[in-house]
Amino acid sequence: MTFSREAAQTARKGLRRRMVASLLGLAAIPLLFALTSLYFMIHEDVGSSRGSWLAKEAELLAERGRVESLGGRPSDSAENLRKSLAEYSKKEAGSAVLFSAAGQLLAGPAGTPIPPLPEEGRGFVLYEAQGREYLAGVAPVSAPTSAGAGRSDRFLAVVQPSSLVYEHFDSMSRKATVLLLGGGLLAAVLAWRMTGRFLRPILEIRRGADIVSRINLSHRIQLKTGDELEDLAQAFNHMAGNLGNTYAELEARVLHATQTLQDERNRLATVLRTMVDGVVVTNAAAETILLNPRARIILDHAFSSGIGVPLARIFPADRVEFHVKNLRRNWELGRDCVEEVVFPLSDGKLLKGTLSAVPGQGGELAGFLLVFRDLRAPGEEGNPFETALREMPRLLKGPVATARSLVETLQRHREMPAEKQQAFLAALAEEADRLAQRVGAMEEAAVAAQTPRWPAIPSNPRELLEEALAAVPGVPAEIRSEDEPLPLVQVEPFSWVAALVCVLRWIEQRTSGAGAVVATLAVEDGVVVTSFRIDGPFAGQSAELEALQISPAGEEPLPLGETVRRNKGELWTRALGEHAHEIRLALLPSTCRPEGRSVDGFIEGEPEFYDFDLFLPRPVVEKKELLDTPLAELEYVVFDTETTGLQLSRGDKIVSISGVRIRRGRIQNADIFHTLVNPGRLIPAESVAIHHIEDHMVADAPGMDQVYPRFVEFAGDAVLVAHNAAFDKKALDMAAAEAGLPQIDNPILDTLFLSYGIHEGTEGHSLDALAQRMGIVIEGRHSSMGDARATAQAFLGLMSLLPGRGVTTLADAKGFCDRNLLLRWQTSRY
């Protein structure tokens, strides 16, 4: 509806011109045919009547000549004839001539062309002579000697040029043509005006449509022509009406959505304002889009907004880059996207917190969320070292005083009885022990206060080593490690990788790039040792190693030895024979499980405040009403499991389970359940090849007996959905039996059977085929989370097609699934 007024104008002109041309054409073409044939008919009639008249004249002249010749002498008669011919020729428009049958002029004006003889020797002829057309009436003349009936050899002709004959007719025709042209012009003008009458309603409709499209959706076209054009106008009005309604609906929804968004924003603002932790939200490019007041205070950003500043400019750049890179990689792999971070600032503050990836509406990486607090700031619990220090004089004075008095007594009374002396010595030992105990506590507090609390997290030593090797490409190293899965180590990943990188750079420098380095990871005497073996000349002094400086961007440099010890590690070198050296870094294996992480992958006690759907009241649907509830109003949990194999009844177990919630017809990306599960048995290689979950990954994961109740809790009253649900349900039921818990009895829908029913006759109902048909991209196929998400999307797609099959309630959907199950079963028998 965006054509311009000019275009409309030319369109109208074009239409009008075409209508006039067609009308005139319709009238003019038969008229022209008729007039042309009339012209020729009259032309011929005029010729023949004039010819007849000329013939009659010739007869009369011939008769007169014969009468005269009967009464006079032949010579006289010939003379008389000649005279009368001359007279006639003078008087009449034509010239009379006498000629012989051989075409010889006998009498009459000379130069008159002799006509050819008509048939039977009389009548009229049209002929051409000397380039002109003539009409002649011919009559035979009887010779005076033979007056009776005999064969005549002389003829009389009255000749006229045909131009003279048609002169009158032609002038009349010209007048008629002029009149006709005038009439035609008049008709054209009339037609032009008449088409205007047809066009006006069309223009009216166009103008109306224009108003509707541009200005006013409630405008209606007023047209009373009583014909199809009025119908057209009505149709337009109807369309405008529908458009108006849709628009109004849309506007209402936009308004509602805006309101909801505003509410969410207000809630977010409130949550952020009142949070005791600093919060920084960034976009996907890690540029700040929001800082809460606490973050401003901690970062001394009180007077500048800090908005739009890259995270790496606010916090130590290398650390930010390290963690953001990890998060992006984990996001790609569909893993947990929370990093524990520690940021030492140049002003002495030490920030500790978590950096996590924030999913967007479409499940994409929308940004990052950093929540942190300043460890150096006095917390509510106070500084334990200071507390201990304050308490210490009181605690130490007692034992010291007692010990001194005991010693003095012993020195003074050397003659003391042996048993008394023993008692004194025992008391002294007791006081020494007490003293040692209190000093020990003091030392602990001091160590804790002096050594910044690096947030050590269980990490995979191999991944850390790989990361370091990738950062120093100049060292041609390969990793050799034991086949058995390595235990996790408890380190602060960034500084540990920085330490490894520092060692590798040193090796690079001291070997001048010559000689191969072999990196080995091994568990020796319960210690995880990373060692770099250098074969060939090595100019490095082991004494240097400790003092090497690690200086990441935006941080104070720290010696390598100190960095390693802050990670509770040790570092040393040893010579292996004459020409080989080894630099070794040892760490204790992680004994504790990941802290504070619940089975669904989120930190416990931390609200998911970026999904405010959680604030909205959950619609309560009674179980008995559940079956009659429209499908769109129900809540669903779409889930998927990965297992050690497909033989559930022969001992295959769940290794991973994920669930996605669908509420109000939308996938709730933040309301998910995801965990690895320790199956309590080895995972066969062929299964690892499918889901890439290996034994060491589930070593620290909770068992299904712990996960199952959590999943049941997550599912709540929601309808369960799975692709090929029979398998996943069986896996759940077996887990329930093992945990000694009742089976989950929520209604279950199966996307496999829904697909059978809806895409009847189509081949392929696997999750892959279904996803391809519906244009769904599965991110992380054969990861339980990826499959659950894809199944959820497929389910929403299938659900939109169900009303077309008369399926609107849960009961209908269950029937629909069962029918297709039965059908499949029956056909499979043949």
Partner 1 sequence: MEKKKVLAVDDEPNILMSIEFILEMEGYEVHLARDGEEALEVAERVRPDLILLDVNMPRKDGYEVCRIIREREQLAATRVIMLTAKGQTLEKKKGLEMGADEYVTKPFSADELLAKIRALIAP
Residue closer to partner 1, measured from CB, 525 or 745 = 525
Residue 526 makes contact with partner 1 by CB under 8 A: yes
| 582 versus 613: smaller Cβ distance to partner 1 | 582
Residues 438-467 that bind partner 1 (CB under 8 A): none
The residue (of 117 and 587) whose beta carbon lies closer to partner 1 is 587
State the Cα angle at 707 between 721 and 811, rounded to 5°. 20
Give yes or no for a contact between 554 and 346, defined as CB atoms under 8 angstroms apart.
yes
In whole angstroms, the minimum distance from the beta carbon of 556 to partner 1 comes to 24
Q: How far is the CB of 541 from partner 1 (least distance, A)?
A: 11
Among 448, 527, 603, 614, binds partner 1 (CB under 8 A): 527
What is the C-alpha separation between 290 and 307, in angstroms, rounded?
6
Q: What is the DSSP letter of 93?
A: S
Contact by Cβ (8 Å): 266, 249:
no
Least CB distance to partner 1 at residue 421 (A): 18
Question: What whole-number distance in Å separates Cα of residue 792 and Cα of residue 800?
Answer: 13
Helix (H) or strand (E) holding 91: helix 74-91
Residue 542 makes contact with partner 1 by CB under 8 A: yes
Other beta carbons within 10 Å of 258 = 10
Which CB, 221 or 545, lies closer to partner 1?
Answer: 545
Closest approach of Cβ 399 to partner 1, in Å?
A: 17
Nearest-approach distance from CB 459 to partner 1, in angstroms: 17
Tell whether residue 487 is a contact of partner 1 (CB under 8 A).
no
Distance CA 509, CA 120 (A): 138
Please, where are the H alpha helices in 290-417? 293-298, 311-314, 317-333, 384-412
Which span (570-578, 686-694, 757-765, 776-784) binds partner 1, by CB under 8 A? 570-578
What residues numbered 196-235 form the site for partner 1, per CB under 8 A? none
Contact between 543 and partner 1 by CB under 8 A: the answer reads yes
Binding to partner 1 by residue 533, rule CB under 8 A?
no
- Find the binder of partner 1 among 587, 634, 657, 802 (CB under 8 A): 587
Residue for token digits 């009403």? 625
> In angstroms, what is the minimal distance from the CB of 272 to partner 1?
43
| Inter-CA distances, 373 with 354, 367, 705, 818, Å | 10, 20, 36, 55
Q: How far is the CB of 710 from partner 1 (least distance, A)?
A: 36
* Among 50, 219, 584, 653, interactor with partner 1 by CB under 8 A: 584
Residue with Cβ nearer partner 1 (554 or 569): 569
Query: Which helix H or strand E contains 711, and what residues bound it?
Result: helix 704-715
Q: Does the footprint of partner 1 cover residue 572 (CB under 8 A)?
A: yes
Q: How far is the CB of 516 from partner 1 (least distance, A)?
A: 22
Q: Which stretch binds partner 1 (CB under 8 A): 263-271, 364-372, 566-574, 755-763?
A: 566-574
Binds partner 1 (CB under 8 A): choice among 562, 570, 613, 705: 570
Provide, rounded to whole angstroms, the least separation between the CB of residue 544 and partner 1. 12
Whether the CA torsion 663, 669, 672, 674 is positive or negative: it is positive
Residue 700 beta carbon to partner 1: minimum distance, rounded to whole angstroms: 21
Residue 348: exposed, middle, or buried by beta-carbon count in 10 A (0-12, 13-18, 19+)? exposed
Beta strands per DSSP E along 91-170: 95-100, 105-107, 123-129, 132-141, 154-161
- Minimum CB distance to partner 1, residue 436 (Å): 8
539 binds partner 1 (CB under 8 A): no
Run of H or E residues at 339: strand 338-344
* Residue number with CB closer to partner 1 (264 or 570): 570
- Near partner 1 by CB under 8 A: residue from 76, 128, 170, 524: 524
* DSSP label of 701: S
Rounded Cα gap, residues 140 and 101, in angstroms? 9
Residue (314 or 499) nearer to partner 1, CB: 499
Question: If binding is defined by CB under 8 A, does position 504 make contact with partner 1?
Answer: no
Of 583 and 767, the one with the shorter C-beta distance to partner 1 is: 583
Let me know the angle formed at the C-alpha of 134 by 128 and 136, rounded to the nearest 5 degrees.
120
Eight-state DSSP code of residue 703: B
Q: Distance between CA 300 and CA 545 in Å, rounded?
A: 37
Measured from the CB atom, the residue of 76 and 524 that comes closer to partner 1 is 524
Cβ of residue 582: shortest distance to partner 1, in angstroms?
A: 9
Helix ranges restricted to H, 146-227 = 162-214
For 87-118, b/e burial (b = at least 16 CB within 10 A) is ebbeeeebbbbbbeeeeebbbbeeebbbbebb
Q: Which is nearer to partner 1, 572 or 727 (CB)?
A: 572
What distance in Å separates the CA atoms of residue 194 and residue 19, rounded to the nearest whole number? 10
Least Å from the CB of residue 440 to partner 1 = 10
Which of the ranges 40-48, 519-527, 666-674, 710-718 carries the binding residues for partner 1, by CB under 8 A?
Answer: 519-527
Question: In angstroms, rounded to a whole number, what is the distance separating the alpha carbons of residues 587 and 585?
Answer: 7
Torsion sign over Cα 22, 23, 24, 29:
positive
Residues forming beta bridges with residue 597, ordered by sequence position = 603
* Interface size with partner 1, residues (CB under 8 A): 16
The residue (of 106 and 527) whose beta carbon lies closer to partner 1 is 527
Torsion of CA 307, 312, 316, 321, to 10 degrees: 140
Query: Using the rule CB under 8 A, is 249 a contact of partner 1?
Result: no
Q: Does 568 bind partner 1 (CB under 8 A)?
A: yes
For position 586 contacting partner 1 by CB under 8 A, the verdict is: yes
Part in contact with partner 1 (CB under 8 A); list of ranges 105-113, 511-519, 523-531, 723-731:
523-531
Q: What is the CA radius of gyration of the chain?
A: 57
569 touching partner 1, by CB under 8 A: yes
Residue from 525, 578, 622, 763 touching partner 1 (CB under 8 A): that is 525
Query: Do residues 599 and 675 touch, judged by C-beta distance below 8 A?
Result: yes
Least separation in angstroms between CB 589 and partner 1 = 10
Q: Give the angle 556-558-563 at the CA atoms, nearest 5°.
A: 135
574 binds partner 1, rule: CB under 8 A: yes
Binding footprint of partner 1 on the chain (CB under 8 A): 524-527, 529, 542-543, 568-570, 572, 574, 584, 586-588
